[in-house]
């Protein structure tokens, strides 16, 4: 197997990890104003992702770095052509991260509510725009003979891409609701599980429409198989949630997102960024790649360090595996601040 194919697959794995892990972070952030009844429950929800959200974001940083090193032409065209949506995502992620860190610094309801809005907005924007961006990559964008994006921002707001944004938004909402049900106990657990089932039905409809449309546009036999399995996993996850089996429900949504993203990359290969102007202008794993020497060095680095990172992150989830309830949230201001800071 050529190293260009290996690195295309590795980048796909990084995006799968990001969407599966950061997806429920986005979901929890989006559900913060709707699911929690009071500040204590909002603190419970934040603490479910407090120990892991920043580690989950590392996946997208590594994916971006790997793209830059392995496929510099892809990176250059993508980040120049999608500059505005990617900038909005970056700003949203910064605001969201700052909100997690500063929300508990003052015992002031107004202070808390403003940071809650920041968490909500900082979750909605990337949850939607990542779907829009990936849909446009699959559909193809105006790339000329010089491998440069020649379209505008509104070229990216087409019906297919908007459906992709709605799909990721609803999938992450479902994923986040089931994660809250998995990580909490008491009344909030039951409300989160019920909401996950309701939103999950909408997510299933949107996902099926989007994946069928993708298969018609650029699908392969491999992507079709992955899409069918993804749909089955999502339905199974929703069914498990209805049966009050949160562990299996979360496994279902996790696997559904993983298989769906894998299917999108399978549908894209061997292109990395198709041109809507002419097939000969498309960026592929061959004409967008770095030198063989660069890919070889990167491969050895990945072989050595990837297992270490995976083991460390798995250990983090194991340490913080227990459920959180409102009883775990101290009533005093300083203790509450310390609890949130410790979780982060």
Taking only the tens place, the pLDDT of each residue in 209-229 is 999 999 999 989 999 999 999
pLDDT of the residue at 333: 46
Q: Helix/strand/coil (H, E, C) string of the chain? A: CCHHHHHHHHHHHHHHHHHHHHHHHHHHHHHHHHHCCCHHHHHHHHHHHCCCHHHHHHHHHHHHHHHHHHCHHHHHHHHHHCHHHHHHHHHHHHHHHHHHHHHHHCCCHHHHHHHHHHHHHHHHHHHHHHHHHHHHHHHCECECCCCCECCCHHHHCCHHHHHHHHHHHHHHHHHHHHHHHHHECCHHHHHHHHHHHHHHHHHHHHHHHHHHHHHHHHCCHHHHHHHHHHHHHHHHHHHHHHCCCHHHHHHHHHHHHHHHHHHHHHHHCCEEECECCCHHHCEECCCCCCCHHHHHHHHHHHHHHHHHHHHHHHHHHHHCCCCECHHHCCCCHHHHHHHHHHHC
Q: What's the chain's average pLDDT? A: 91
The pLDDT of residue 182 is 95
pLDDT, position 131: 95
- Predicted confidence at residue 339, as pLDDT, reads 41
Residue 253 has pLDDT above 90, yes or no: yes
The pTM of the full predicted model, rounded to 2 decimals, is 0.91
pLDDT digits over 30-45, tens only?
Answer: 999 999 888 899 999 9
Q: Is the pLDDT of residue 332 over 90?
A: no
pLDDT in tens, 262-271: 999 999 999 9
pLDDT tens column, 45-83: 999 998 899 889 999 999 999 999 999 999 999 988 899
């Amino acid at each position: 197997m050529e190293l260009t194919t290996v690195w295309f697959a590795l980048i796909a794995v990084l995006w799968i990890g990001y969407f599966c892990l950061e997806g429920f972070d986005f979901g929890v952030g989006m559900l913060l104003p709707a699911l929690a009844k009071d500040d204590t429950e909002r603190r419970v929800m934040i603490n479910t992702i407090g120990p892991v959200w920043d580690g989950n974001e590392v996946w997208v940083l590594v994916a971006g770095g790997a793209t830059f090193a392995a496929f510099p032409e892809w990176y250059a065209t993508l980040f120049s052509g999608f500059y505005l949506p990617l900038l909005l995502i970056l700003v949203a992620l910064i605001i969201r991260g700052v909100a997690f860190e500063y929300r508990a610094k003052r015992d002031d309801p107004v202070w808390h509510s403003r940071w809650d809005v920041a968490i909500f907005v900082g979750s909605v924007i990337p949850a939607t725009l990542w779907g829009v961006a990936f849909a446009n990559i699959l559909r193809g964008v105006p790339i000329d003979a010089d491998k440069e994006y020649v379209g505008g921002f509104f070229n990216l707001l087409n019906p297919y891409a908007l459906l992709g944004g709605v799909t990721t938004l609803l999938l992450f909402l479902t994923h986040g609701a089931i994660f809250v049900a998995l990580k909490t106990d008491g009344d909030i657990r039951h409300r989160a599980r019920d909401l996950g089932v309701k939103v999950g039905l909408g997510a299933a409809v949107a996902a099926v429409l989007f994946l069928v449309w993708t298969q018609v546009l650029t699908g392969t036999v491999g992507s079709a198989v992955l899409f069918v399995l993804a749909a089955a996993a999502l339905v199974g996850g929703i069914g498990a949630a209805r049966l009050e089996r949160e562990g299996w429900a979360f496994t279902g949504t996790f696997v559904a997102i993983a298989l769906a993203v894998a299917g999108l990359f399978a549908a894209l290969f061997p292109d990395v960024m198709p041109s809507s102007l002419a097939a000969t202008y498309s960026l592929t794993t061959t004409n967008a790649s770095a030198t063989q020497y660069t890919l070889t060095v990167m491969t050895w680095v990945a072989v050595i360090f990837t297992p270490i990172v995976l083991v460390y992150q798995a250990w983090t989830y194991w340490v913080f595996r227990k459920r959180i309830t409102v009883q775990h949230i101290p009533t005093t201001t300083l203790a509450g601040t310390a609890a949130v800071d410790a979780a982060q």
